[in-house]
Structure 1
Amino acid sequence: MFFVVLFAAIAAFLALRLYSVLGKRTGHEQALPQPSEERVGAPPMPRTIDMPADARETGPRPIEPGAEDGLRALIAADPTFDVGQFVEGAKSAYRMILEAFWKGDRDTLQWLVEDDVRDAFFEVIDTREAEGHVVENRLVSIERAAISEINVENKVARITMRFDADVAMVTRDANGNVVSGSMSDAVETHDIWVFSRDLTGSDPNWKLSDTDEA
């Protein structure tokens, strides 16, 4: 399944410290804060990314009550799993994947998403490039990120995340003319992303395996 706004610069710190690699448009618009200065010369992202051990989610509870049984099953299979670390990693991956999709960065998407999602993303990127369109979207803020479901089956863990975010969306043609959107207004988006990992494998990273609208 594929969501509307496709996974603004993400800080180099988040890219380097990420542990788990890890839209429905409502029509509600709001004024944007002034964009911060764009990063310059950011180092390349490593293929295995770690988060600090003391990272913890603050604010709203990062896991919904319905996911607690699945959490117990996951911890039984992988005692090192930490909810706070995972949610922070998922939020960083959400930014990374969206930015890579918008830029048409196939190399980054290749190692962040599973094959089915990769193929769907690449198809959209190919169409966009064939039409001469350039996307200048910007993730303004993630208002909420929470685990809504956890499943462990045949040693494969699948964690469903809900992201509520504000995104500025602009598409330009080959001449730089605005085809759609506006950078002066944000659109509310509501995404359901599923991240998967083989618990028996040596790769500690989670990959995006499914997407949908909330």
Structure 2
Amino acid sequence: MTVIVVLAMIFALLALRLFSVLGRRTGHEQQQIPAPADDRPAGARMPAGEQQDGRTPAQRAAESAVAVPAQAGLRALIAADRSFDVAQFLSGARAAYGMILEAFWKGDRETLKSLCDADVYAAFDAAITERESAGLTLDNKLVRIDTANIVDARVDDGVAHVAVHFEADLSAVTRDSSGAVVAGSLDDAVSTIETWTFSRDLRSRDPNWQLTETDEG
């Protein structure tokens, strides 16, 4: 049992570290959401593997997860923060989605406070308090994330906001104080569709992104 607890703690620390560098480039990644091909210097050669529009297959895969209305905002974000990388951001957003849901289900206020801004945390805290007062617990599990697409991006007064549309399946069970199931089933997956907005002050040395808004659908 001690080994399991230690492994769980290590996983949590690694996940938190992943979220803290969410979207940051190391200098080895391909540039995402590049400038249009017409903006490249005349006569510039295309590296091996690039398509005629200048994008590699890896870039195409990352850009396929970006809605057209969000592309201009992402270009503005990259111009303001050259370390930002779309593929890394989406990977970190997926990890954060699972971490925040798990923390909410378990009533882990400390983790929620570290990953959410004050308003979102207050909403989670109120829901947890109401659940605890009713003597209910959630026995939920994130089965899989089907899609995670960037649907909006903008930079307002030095603060970056990126909205990610999640479609996921989860098993949801609510138990009473005796442990009896009062709602849901672990055998049936429930589809959920949400759009979460993550934000970060680009002028701050703090690399952490926080969840600042959640919307259903």
Q: TM-score, normalised by structure 2?
A: 0.76
- Identify the residue that residue 156 of structure 2 maps to in structure 1: 153
Closer, same or farther: CA 163–78 of 1 in aligned 2, 3 Å: same
Q: Write the deviation string for residues 10-33 of structure 1: whole angstroms up to 9, x where unpaired.
A: xxxxxxxxxxxxxxxxxxxxxxxx
Q: More helix by proportion, 1 or 2?
A: 2
8 A contact 1:62–1:83 mirrored in 2: no
1:178 counterpart (169, 178, 181): 181
The unaligned stretches of length 5 or more in structure 2 are 30-57
**Are residues 1:75 and 2:78 paired?**
yes
1:119 counterpart (96, 119, 122): 122
8 A contact 1:193–1:212 mirrored in 2: yes
Q: How far, CA to CA, are the matches of 1:201 and 1:109 in structure 2?
A: 21
* Rg comparison, structure with higher value: 2
Q: How far, CA to CA, are the matches of 1:206 and 1:194 in structure 2?
A: 10
Stretches (4+) displaced over 3 A: 44-60
SS at match of 1:157: strand
2:137 counterpart (131, 134, 137): 134
Q: How far, CA to CA, are the matches of 2:148 and 2:171 in structure 1?
A: 18
SS at match of 1:43: helix
Q: How far, CA to CA, are the matches of 2:216 and 2:113 in structure 1?
A: 22
TM-aligned CA deviation for residue 62 of structure 1: 2.0
2:201 counterpart (191, 198, 201): 198
**Are residues 1:43 and 2:46 paired?**
no
Q: How far, CA to CA, are the matches of 2:210 and 2:144 in structure 1?
A: 22
Instruction: Select the structure with the greater relative contact order (CA < 8 A; seq sep ≥ 6).
Output: 1
8 A contact 2:155–2:161 mirrored in 1: yes
8 A contact 2:161–2:197 mirrored in 1: yes
Matches within 5 A, 1:56-67: 61-67=64-70
TM-aligned CA deviation for residue 153 of structure 1: 0.9
TM-aligned CA deviation for residue 43 of structure 1: 2.0
**Are residues 1:96 and 2:62 paired?**
no
Q: How far, CA to CA, are the matches of 2:171 and 2:206 in structure 1?
A: 34
TM-aligned CA deviation for residue 59 of structure 1: 7.9
Letter in 1 for 2:164: M
The unaligned stretches of length 5 or more in structure 1 are 1-38
State percent identity of aligned pairs.
47
